[in-house]
Amino acid sequence: MFMCNRLSLLFIFALAYMIWASPLSAMMSVEKERELRNRLLHQVESRVPLIKDPEIVGYVSRVGQKVLDQVDGKFFDYEFFVIQDDGLNAFAMPGGLVFVHTGLLEVIDTENELVCVLAHEIGHVQGRHIARRMDRMQRINIATAAIAIAGLFLGQGQAGSAIFATSGAINMSIALKYSRTDEEEADRRACQWLCKAGYDFRGLLTVLKKMQKYRWLGTSAIPSYLSTHPGAGERITYLEDLWERERCIQKFQEDRFELRKLQVKTRILTHDPMVMMKYYQQELNTSPNDILLLYGLAQSLLAAREYDKAIKAFDNLVSSAPEKSGFKVDQGRAYFAAGKYKKAASILGPYSKRHPGDSTAKFFLARAYLELGKPSEALPILKTLKKSWPDPASIYLQMGRCFAALERHGEAHEYFYRHYKAIGNQQSAQYHKDKAMKLLSPDSESYKDLKKDKNQEGSKP
């Protein structure tokens, strides 16, 4: 793992327990690893806060895809997530699930650094390093696994620590932890892909050195676990040696504005908006024309629900930087948040036509249409976002509202079921599933999907 902190290590433990709880062969097959994917993701989503902002997640995904485009023989369909946590960390789980912490996003200086981190994590997944270690582990029963997982995810309190200790997870972690050989293999894979993609793999070095710097400063972003993490110094040494032998220079100039904009938004989403608002106001006193400071003030006002002030700030931002057309999306979101749906639609509609790939603009345009009593215009937009939006629960809810407004009640209950299932409200989910199955035609695809869900739930141990 890429200098993992305590949170990411716990995920690795949990992964192991889920695998041990079912009868697997000594070496987990690719098919089993794929089957495990949804269960792992559910475990993560139900226990840690994930950033759902499509601009932030979309940026990480686009950068990660630049690595994946160079990978021959991908075992899995990769997916990227952002965890709200101040640790300088990224890690990957079997099945192609790659996670980046907001703390890491805030300290990188270039896209090159991020792509290098993601390439390293993809290297672990493609190397199937966790699966290789399973033949060293003995299976445990479901009851023991449940105790271990509960201890892992109860957090850092005494109760969680007690369960964690009794579960035997500490000894198991030693067997699961990546070896120096694993780390070097992941680095070497990453360097090959990065050079093919036209990046400078020294981004691995700069990020590693930043992590070491934060460790020596004693910051909480780097936990004490790293003091015994194997291979950090050795990795720096052999990466420097590798650079001397196999240099590859970055082939293009980065536009760092997108990263800086994303970092401002990330900072506001993960900190008290009132504190951030005061910070940006103070900074603007000395740099009144700084576009990113103006953006930070506008976003912090919006996060603090100072809607009128936020609208004024975004209007000012759009007029001050007409060349940055993406600010119009934020402007439209501000009008939507203030309940000014017609104005929001008038901004987001034309923008979406010019930028059909901007999912944020499409989502809030659809919501504006729905609030304006135009569900037939909202629904097709939401359908196009159903597979790509980073917060499926919100898409399901809005689709359910559209179907209800169109008096297509069976489909409305189907999507309300999917919404409540996604947020973990099993009682409401079951209510809407029962309603949907009574109203939908048994020959419809929706009914068959619900029946399949029911059969899968019934087969769970």
159 or 73: which carries more pLDDT confidence?
Answer: 73
C-alpha R_g of the chain: 24
Q: 3-class SS at 63? A: helix
Q: Distance between CA atoms of 293 and 18, rounded to whole angstroms? A: 45
Q: What percent of the chain has pLDDT over 70?
A: 76
- What integer pLDDT is reported at residue 207 of this predicted model? 85
17 or 349: which carries more pLDDT confidence?
Answer: 349
Region class of 258: left (phi > 0), else alpha (psi between -120 and 50), else beta: alpha
Q: Which structural domain, as residue segments, surrounds residue 233?
A: 6-245
Highest mean pLDDT among 49-63, 82-96, 177-191, 208-222: 49-63
Examine residue 269 and state whether it is found in any structural domain, yes or no.
no
- What integer pLDDT is reported at residue 274 of this predicted model? 96
Q: Distance between CA atoms of 168 and 145, rounded to whole angstroms? A: 10
Domain count, the chain: 1
Examine residue 223 and state whether it is found in any structural domain, yes or no.
yes
Total length of the chain: 461
Examine residue 200 and state whether it is found in any structural domain, yes or no.
yes
- What integer pLDDT is reported at residue 54 of this predicted model? 93
Classify strands 90-93 and 79-83 as parallel, antiparallel or unpaired. unpaired
Examine residue 198 and state whether it is found in any structural domain, yes or no.
yes
Instruction: Kindly state the average pLDDT of the residues 119-124.
Output: 92
404-430 burial, b if ≥16 CB within 10 A, otherwise e? Answer: bbeebebbbbbbbbbbbbbbeeeeebe
Mean of pLDDT over the chain = 81
Output the CA–CA distances (angstroms, integers) from residue 4 to 66, 225, 265, in the order listed: 23, 8, 24
Examine residue 343 and state whether it is found in any structural domain, yes or no.
no
- What integer pLDDT is reported at residue 90 of this predicted model? 84
Q: Distance between CA atoms of 258 and 264, rounded to whole angstroms? A: 10
Cβ neighbours of residue 159 closer than 8 Å, sequence gap 6 or more: none
pLDDT at 399 over 50: yes
Region class of 436: left (phi > 0), else alpha (psi between -120 and 50), else beta: alpha
Cβ neighbours of residue 172 closer than 8 Å, sequence gap 6 or more: 13, 16, 137
Instruction: Kindly state the average pLDDT of the residues 173-184.
Output: 64
428 or 210: which carries more pLDDT confidence?
Answer: 428
Examine residue 364 and state whether it is found in any structural domain, yes or no.
no
Examine residue 232 and state whether it is found in any structural domain, yes or no.
yes
pLDDT tens track for 224-250: 323 333 456 677 777 777 777 777 777
Do 1 and 122 form a contact (C-beta atoms < 8 A)?
no
Output the CA–CA distances (angstroms, integers) from residue 90 to 6, 104, 207, 280, in the order listed: 12, 8, 11, 29
- What integer pLDDT is reported at residue 151 of this predicted model? 35
pLDDT tens track for 127-144: 877 667 655 555 543 233
Do 193 and 119 form a contact (C-beta atoms < 8 A)?
yes
Give the lowest-confidence range in 14-28, 201-215, 303-317, 429-443: 14-28
pLDDT tens track for 325-348: 999 999 999 999 999 999 999 999
Examine residue 79 and state whether it is found in any structural domain, yes or no.
yes
